[in-house]
Amino acid sequence: MGEIKETVKSIAEAARQEFRDVGAADALEALRVRYLGRKGVIRELMQQLGSLEAAERPQAGRLINALKEEIVALHESARAALDRKDSVARVQQEVDVTLPGRPMRMGKPHPLTQTTDEIVDIFARMGFSAVYGPEIETVHNNFEALNMPLDHPSRDAFDTFFIKGRDDLVLRSHTSPVQVRAMRAARPPLRIVVPGRTYRPDTVDATHSFMFSQVEGLVVDRDISMADLKFCLNEFALAYFGEGVRTRFRPHYFPFTEPSAEMDVSCIFCDGGGCRVCGSGWIEVLGCGMVHPNVFRAVDIDCEEYTGFAFGMGVERLCMLKHQIHDMRLFFENDVRFLSQF
């Protein structure tokens, strides 16, 4: 028994060494045959079992089996190591690892997203937070709550797409209904901007699309005046168009504000002298005004206690002005030759 124990031990030691040092597939196969083959070392040991005392056989058998398992495992891992070495060598042979890699083209946000982010950032610096509303909006929020009853003529200007079978829903024609949502969700003071997509049944041309983007703004607090509106939007114009730009506020009409105005900036191309783009030296950039008492009434805010101003601007227009883009359709064609310039 002691003898076979010794034999098994020395075979195991030799095998470990040999399987570790093997360097090629044919040498490994020769090792396998020598240890595990039909006339191999293990087989030979098994045959010697017969000549042992019956009492010693079970233990000796277990020793030999353990040795066999160890050698099978040694063979497996030697083969795996050779395979790895092999594939590395093949790659080095077939692939020129010194070639420079192919650079991956990095995407980036769409120019309209960049412009939206820029506008929102400017207002964020003045303490505004961004809120969002759904593109499918109730008729009530899109019109009635904004002081546009069913028979109101200015509904025409905000005409939109209706939803078949749901005459209480529309694709919002402006981001203004989110004012209503925000004022219902939280009591003043409020200072929000609302970026988002809007829809109108316009035919597509260089300056119109049935889908476009706006950024809405709303400030509600005690003692908010037209002076606050002018200061805030003037700051925005300076930040977006650059120092030196001038603003002017022209009286206008919106149902949801009173008084209402449109803000123009001095033409960024001719500095207000008058050119082919602006004609008059001024470029219209947004609509604004003091929140109409009827809008406050629709959301149960006391218009004796609170006042507010609101504004809305078109993102495509602002982006086109800044980057001198002459056709709005470029935004929606997704031609990388256009998009990669921003």
| Contacts with ligand DAH, residue ranges (CB under 6 A) | 174, 176, 216, 254, 257, 287-289, 310-312
Q: 150: closest CA among 129, 133, 167?
A: 167
Tokens of 121: 């950032």
137 or 216: CB nearest ligand DAH: 216
Calculated CA dihedral for residues 315, 193, 177, 322, nearest 10 degrees: -10
Identify the bridge partners of residue 308 per DSSP, sorted by sequence position.
220
The residues near 158 (Cβ < 8 Å, ≥ 6 apart) are 142, 143, 148, 173, 174, 200
For residue 260, list its beta bridge partners: 252, 289
Query: Rounded to the nearest whole angstrom, what is the least distance from the CB of residue 338 to ligand DAH in the complex?
Result: 26
What is 72-98 written as a DSSP string?
HHHHHHHHHHHHHHHHHHHHHHHS-TT
19 vs 236 by CB, closer to ligand DAH? 236
CB-nearer residue toward ligand DAH: 13 or 159: 159
CA-only gyration radius of the chain, Å:
40
Q: How far is the CB of 150 from ligand DAH (least distance, A)?
A: 18
Q: In angstroms, give the least distance from the CB of 306 to ligand DAH.
A: 16
Nearer to ligand DAH, 19 or 311 (CB): 311
Rounded-to-integer distance, Cα 306 and Cα 275, Å:
43
Least distance from ligand DAH to the Cβ atom of residue 326, Å: 22
Residue 8 or residue 157: which is nearer to ligand DAH going by CB? 157
* Cβ nearer to ligand DAH, comparing 35 with 199: 199
Work out how close the CB of 220 gets to ligand DAH at its nearest, in angstroms, rounded to a whole number: 12
**What letter would DSSP give residue 205?**
B
CA separation for the pair 53, 37 (Å, rounded): 26
DSSP label at residue 268: T
The DSSP code for 277 is: T
Minimum distance from residue 337 beta carbon to ligand DAH (Å)? 31
Nearer to ligand DAH, 237 or 310 (CB): 310
d(CA 3, CA 21): 28
With respect to ligand DAH, which residue has the nearer C-beta, 210 or 338?
210
Burial bucket for residue 320 (CB in 10 Å: 0-12, 13-18, 19+):
buried
Q: Rounded to the nearest 5°, which phi and psi values hold at 295?
A: -70, -45
| Residue, CB closest to ligand DAH | 312
Shortest spacing between CB 143 and ligand DAH, in angstroms: 11
Give the shortest CB-315-to-ligand DAH separation in angstroms. Answer: 12
